[in-house]
Amino acid sequence: MARLDLTDYRNTTTGEGVDLDTLIRTVLLAAVFLVLWISFRPFVNLGEPPDLAEAGQGNLVNQVGYLVLFLTLACWSLAHQPARLLELVRPILVASLFWILMSVLHSWEPALAGRRFILTLIAIAIAGMAMLLPKNVRHFADVMAAVVLVVLVLCYLGVLLAPSLSIHQSTDVVEPELAGDWRGLFAHKNDASAVMALFVFMGLFVGRVRSATLGGAIAVLALVFLIFTHSKTSIAMLPVVMIVSAIMTRVRSRVFGIAVALSGIVLFNLISLGSLYFEPLRNFLDLVLADATFTGRTDVWQFVLDHIKERPILGYGFWTFWGSPEVVYGMGGYAVWANTAGHAHNGFLDIALTIGIPGAILVVLWLVVYPLADFYKAPRDPYAGPLAMLFLRVCLFMAYESCFEAMLLKEGGASLFLFAATFGLRFLSVSRVAR
């Protein structure tokens, strides 16, 4: 099979000098992930009322920025063996995108759903092309270490120098009850916490591939920031991912390893969604948890499950349910706050709600199940192993986090990194090089 740059283990150093090709690859790779995590609108002032027009039409700067990044990467990829991208276009991806397109066409707001679908396609394409940029594993580690440190420094500087823009305040228009929770340059503490958990995994990866000191510093800085976000979900899922990934690495049976990983998703959804239907489970949660409603999420989950039943095949249209006039004003008597939520607080439910149950199954196969299988096909040598482990932990974390937050196919840094991890495992699984 064709050798892919990301899995070039024969040249494990980036060289003392930096040639033009390496410089271009470095700049592009850094640009992708800086845009991914810093975005075009960092340090949002949550004390100002949200722009309703922007919520419907999307942020123009964001859209133009991602389009420019996409076109730049497309030009580079066309000059560097674009056929390698065909390895990523597997049937499950095509089927998932086709089903999303069908939901767009049958949406109650086709224009809005179409715009968001196009942005998602651009994000997927950027993630795929980004995996062609590294010259080798150590080059990838070097660039990612630099990018992550830049983001961490900006987040800490924000907390120190501009706390009103980096820490949730009691004056926030939405969710003032989060006052005191760190969010850094991100718009919400849940976004910050998810990225910080991913940075912990990145630090462990850098520690194994490049420098234990540098990697340890990244992991510690990210972990401290994660703790101060006070995000219970991300903090709880971090050790779970570490345990499950360790088990998957040690078991020889691919079927057993995948079953262990998927059992976590089943268990978390059973605990959360099952409490709506099984009274013994609900009573047990009342005894062991301070808040058995999972901070009011049970109202939203019940609201979503009832509406999935109404449009189970194609859903309400790709990301066109929440915030729509039909939901906010037409379903106001349903629950105290469920109809005004920004998402389902469960990524699996959100996908089923917006693109239907068949679409949700396809997306879960593409973003969760297939990557787990690819992990077992990836080489286990000292260079590919740490990279495969990084991508595996990203996929596991996003899947487990999605049991309580809407992370799958969501706009933003964490989800685009999930696409990259999925494609990275795919590249590793189909690449064979002389060692």
Q: What string of DSSP letters covers 96-134?
A: HHHHHHHHHHTSSSHHHHHHHHHHHHHHHHHHHHHTT--
Match 């409603």 to its residue by tokens.
293
Residue % of the chain over a pLDDT of 70: 88
The per-residue DSSP string of 343-371 comes to S-S-HHHHHHHHHHHHHHHHHHIIIIIHH
Query: Are the C-beta atoms of 32 and 69 separated by less than 8 Å?
Result: yes
Backbone angles phi, psi at 65, to 5 degrees: -60, -45
313 part of a folded domain? yes
Query: How would residue 282 be classed by pLDDT, with cut points 50, 70 and 90?
Result: confident
Query: What's the mean per-residue pLDDT of the chain?
Result: 87
The predicted structure's pLDDT at residue 333:
55
Give me the mean pLDDT over the 105-134 stretch.
92
| Rounded Cα–Cα distance for residues 365 and 372 (Å) | 10
At residue 276, the pLDDT reads 82
User: Is residue 17 one of the residues assigned to a domain?
Assistant: yes
Q: What is the pLDDT of residue 405?
A: 87
- Asked if the structure places residue 168 within a domain, the reply is yes
Is the model's pLDDT at 58 over the cut of 70? no
pLDDT tens digits, residue range 121-134?
Answer: 999 999 999 999 99
- Mean pLDDT (whole number) for 272-289: 79
Rounded CA-CA distance 368/357 in Å is 16
Query: Over 60: is that where the pLDDT of 139 sits?
Result: yes
Rounded to 5 degrees, φ, ψ at 167 are -130, 135
The vertex-171 CA angle with 165 and 175, nearest 5°, equals: 90
pLDDT given at position 52: 53
Give the model's pLDDT for residue 433. 39
Residue 67 and residue 28: Cα distance in Å, rounded?
Answer: 14
Q: Please provide residue 182's backbone torsions phi and psi, each rounded to the nearest 5 degrees.
A: -70, 140
Q: Is 51 helix (H, G, I), strand (E, B) or coil?
A: coil
Tens of pLDDT, residue by residue over 144-200, are: 999 999 999 999 999 999 999 999 999 998 888 999 999 999 999 999 999 999 999
Predicted confidence at residue 241, as pLDDT, reads 97
Q: Could you tell me if residue 266 is inside a domain?
A: yes
Range of the domain at 306: 5-430
Q: What is the mean pLDDT of residues 374-394?
A: 91
Only one residue has tokens 């779970």, namely: 240
Q: Is 435 within the bounds of a domain?
A: no
Phi, psi of 197 (to 5 degrees): -65, -40
CB burial readout 20-48, b (16+ within 10 A) else e: eeeeebbebbbbbbebbbbbeebbeebee
Number of separate domains in the chain? 1
| Mean pLDDT of all residues in 254-281 | 89
Residue 399's Cβ-count burial label (10 Å; 0-12, 13-18, 19+) is buried
Predicted pLDDT of residue 4: 43
Q: Evaluate if residue 1 carries a pLDDT over 50.
A: no
Please give the Cα distance from 63 to 33 (Å, whole number). Answer: 16
Mean pLDDT is lowest, of 3-7, 57-61, 174-178, for 3-7
- Does 356 fall in a domain? yes
- What pLDDT shows up at residue 292? 62
pLDDT at 3 over 60: no
The whole-number pLDDT of residue 81 equals: 79
pLDDT band at 407, cuts 50/70/90?
confident
Who wins on pLDDT, 334 or 197?
Answer: 197
